[in-house]
Structure 1
Amino acid sequence: MPVKVLIIDDSALVRQLLTEILSKDPEIEVVGVAPDPLIAREKIKQLKPDVLTLDVEMPRMDGLQFLANLMRLHPLPVVMVSSLTEAGADVTLKALELGAIDFVTKPKLDVAKGLTAYGPILCEKVKMAAKARIITRPPQAVPRPVAAAPATAMAFRTTDKLIAIGASAGGTEALRVVLEMMPPDAPATVITQHIPAEFSRPFAERLNRHSAMVVMQAEDGAPILAGHAYVAPGGKHLEVVRDGARWRCRVSDGEPVNRHKPSVGVMFDSVLKACGTNCVAALLTGMGDDGSRELLALRQAGIRTVVQDEATSVVWGMPGTAYRLGAADEVLPLERIAPRLLELARNA
């Protein structure tokens, strides 16, 4: 059975383009379109779509308010269609927090050309969303470590330990949960999340607001310090390189690896070369298999590895592939990953 999609966008041009793009895929059927959330609400009842595509800026009702109501009353998989602006990034990240599965970007100029170029990605994400698990979490649902008892504090003062984390679809919220549970003196942490260039800095800034660690977008040559987390810039690879007794970030503009840039696999490969068994690694929710084979190489080298379990993953693609390859020492629910990474890093 094809995936039934309802397109919600106030632009007639965008509705037409999305209909044409999605209808080219034999596994997708566009069952309807709606120019605003109020009309969409009635069409959802009539047409019973499997997936919605949703613009965030619409008349009569804000897209975020519609999404919040939808997830509370009638949860459905949603793929956001977002503008490539700083405001668009903030709204999209909020939408993912509310329960949207994933997003595609809508350029401000030459929308037709831009959306057509994203066609294969959009189709893939819509089909993935139909199979995804809808997980909604209230903001700061996980206790923050700053209020923890002193006995839980971990005296990591240098870059003698490293945590490496990869994620894709569903990862923006999974990473928020993990970093909320990290103490301010946690081991240095490097993160690759599949995300467009315009979204990675706002994403890092958002994580910083939710974590006792200092979270930032990685800069080329930046020293990797305890108590800091470094997010790969969108459209660039993040690697860890050794500089004497220290580690530094290397941000490079190479070719996509495993179809991704940034690639989790590139980061994991660099961690293996630069850090050896002084690190631990985790693979969180995500579509595809990026990082899974490289996680296996880490485990085979004696590095402890963790993957997120299927029940708490939005998409059990990357972690599921890693599990089937034998790349995981442990398979854990999301809420147990941060404490376990800290424990493993302490004993690495």
Structure 2
Amino acid sequence: MIVDDSAVVRQVVSDMLTRDPQIQVIAAVSDPVFALERLKTLSPDVIVLDVEMPRMDGITFLRRLMSERPTPVVMCSSLTEAGAATTLDALAAGAVAIVTKPKMGVKNFLLDASTDIIAQVKAAASANVKRLTPSARSDSRPAAVLPSPLKPAADAGRAGQKFTADAVLAATTGAMKRTTERIVAIGTSTGGTQALEAVLKVLPKDAPGIIAVQHMPERFTAAFADRLNKICQVTVREATTGERLLPGHVLIAPGGKHLMLKRSGAYYYAEVLDGALVNRHKPSVDVLFRSVANCAGPNAMGVIMTGMGDDGARGLKEMRESGSSTLAQDEASCVVFGMPKEAIRLGGAQRTLPLNEIAGAILLYAAGA
């Protein structure tokens, strides 16, 4: 079901989705009030939902939907700083994914982004909806999801070749031997906003430095980091080039950019750079994990959490081979088990843990246990 007050968006998205033989659009309505009426007789697997609409806003509708009949929801949000804050509210309310759209040229943008949108709708259909319910959120389980960033079709690696981390940096064996400072690298995607929150909220101020990739559109990561910073004891910021990774600090990759860990002597710092999409993502977890394997090795822990696809699986294996401690979130607590499952299959994860035990594992690692 598509719920959007723009007739153009409803038509374009309907035509786009119905071209895929696995997707059927059973309704396209102009506001949540009409949607509620249609839901009396229809049971969609996924709802594509606009945020700003007449009669009832998308977030109010979403909260009602999740309390009465939890259904995977893909939010359709304008790509603005103001819209980012509103959309994060939607994620907290239980949305599954974000489709970002510009204020101008919406039709052409949606057509260019059709491959990504179809993939996100399919991912939402396979999401573990139990993880999206209020009871799951009260148990510190992941409640919402963010997709990969939607970029113009001309961006390298978008529609054609699927690039690996080799497109951004080469693997090396230059990691320094063990030091007293330990760091943690986290990679996550679908379900990751709430999964990261669940982990970071329980960490103390003296937790090890954390560097993280969450697949998220441009202009959303700053608002996401700011929101986490307000509710966590650790300091959370969107990463900038040259910023040191310190104990009690968390650096989040900016949307639309890759994030790497670099080393100068015994100090670790962030480097933010552009480049090709890796595994169709920017930021890419594989790029981050490879950089950590290259320069930190046995001084690092790698954590891969809920997400669609396989980004980060090879990088986690490289981290393990460089001497890092590695773990994956278990299937039962994931919204989508794709990324952890692939990491386990490749042998990158030394062990699996439920989401509510990952923060404890990080603290044990930092203590040398």
Structures share fold, TM-score greater than 0.5: yes
Map residues 94-173 of structure 1 onto 2, 5 A cutoff.
94-134=89-129, 135-136=131-132, 137=134, 141=138, 160-173=181-194
**Alignment match, 1:272:** 293
Question: Which of these residues, 73, 82, 90, is aligned with residue 85 of structure 2?
Answer: 90
User: Comparing 182-191 with 82-91, which one deviates more in the overlay?
Assistant: 82-91
Question: Which of these residues, 19, 22, 35, is aligned with residue 17 of structure 2?
Answer: 22
1:140 Cα deviation from its structure 2 partner: 8.5
3-state DSSP class of the match of 2:66? helix
1:236 Cα deviation from its structure 2 partner: 0.7
Any conservation in 1 of the 2:207–2:366 contact (CA below 8 Å)?
no
**Alignment match, 1:153:** none
Unaligned runs of 5+ in 1: 1-5, 144-157
Give the length in aligned residue pairs. 329
Deviation digits for residues 83-109 of structure 1 (CA, Å, limit 9, x no counterpart): 111221112111111111111101111
User: Comparing 301-310 with 73-82, which one deviates more in the overlay?
Assistant: 301-310
The letter for the 1-side match of 2:96 is I
Any conservation in 1 of the 2:47–2:72 contact (CA below 8 Å)?
yes
Question: Which of these residues, 54, 66, 70, is aligned with residue 71 of structure 1?
Answer: 66
Aligned counterparts of 2:107 and 2:313: Cα–Cα separation in 1: 35
Deviation digits for residues 97-148 of structure 1 (CA, Å, limit 9, x no counterpart): 11111111011111111111111111001011111012235899479xxxxx
Aligned counterparts of 2:285 and 2:253: Cα–Cα separation in 1: 9
3-state DSSP class of the match of 1:344? helix
Map residues 207-222 of structure 1 onto 2, 5 A cutoff.
207-222=228-243
Q: Does 1:346 align with 2:346?
A: no
1:315 Cα deviation from its structure 2 partner: 0.7
Map residues 1-348 of structure 1 onto 2, 5 A cutoff.
6-134=1-129, 135-136=131-132, 137=134, 141=138, 160-347=181-368
3-state DSSP class of the match of 2:44? coil
Give the direction of change, closer, same or farther, for the CA distance of 1:317–1:238 in structure 2 (3 Å limit).
same
Q: TM-score, normalised by structure 1?
A: 0.91
1:251 Cα deviation from its structure 2 partner: 0.6
Identity over aligned pairs, percent: 49
3-state DSSP class of the match of 1:286? coil
Deviation digits for residues 3-49 of structure 1 (CA, Å, limit 9, x no counterpart): xxx00001111111111111111111111111111110121222221
Q: TM-score, normalised by structure 2?
A: 0.86
Unaligned runs of 5+ in 2: 141-178
Any conservation in 2 of the 1:174–1:284 contact (CA below 8 Å)?
yes
3-state DSSP class of the match of 1:29? coil
3-state DSSP class of the match of 2:187? strand
**Alignment match, 2:155:** none
Aligned counterparts of 1:278 and 1:182: Cα–Cα separation in 2: 19
3-state DSSP class of the match of 1:319? helix
Q: Segments of 4+ in structure 1 off by > 6 A?
A: none
Aligned counterparts of 1:51 and 1:307: Cα–Cα separation in 2: 27
Any conservation in 1 of the 2:239–2:254 contact (CA below 8 Å)?
yes
Give the direction of change, closer, same or farther, for the CA distance of 1:138–1:253 in structure 2 (3 Å limit).
farther
Any conservation in 2 of the 1:101–1:170 contact (CA below 8 Å)?
yes
Any conservation in 2 of the 1:51–1:79 contact (CA below 8 Å)?
yes
User: Comparing 284-293 with 97-106, which one deviates more in the overlay?
Assistant: 97-106
The letter for the 2-side match of 1:247 is Y
The letter for the 2-side match of 1:25 is D
Aligned counterparts of 1:335 and 1:228: Cα–Cα separation in 2: 20
Give the direction of change, closer, same or farther, for the CA distance of 1:138–1:233 in structure 2 (3 Å limit).
farther
Superposed CA RMSD: 1.7
Deviation digits for residues 202-259 of structure 1 (CA, Å, limit 9, x no counterpart): 1111111121011000001111111100000111111111112211111111111111
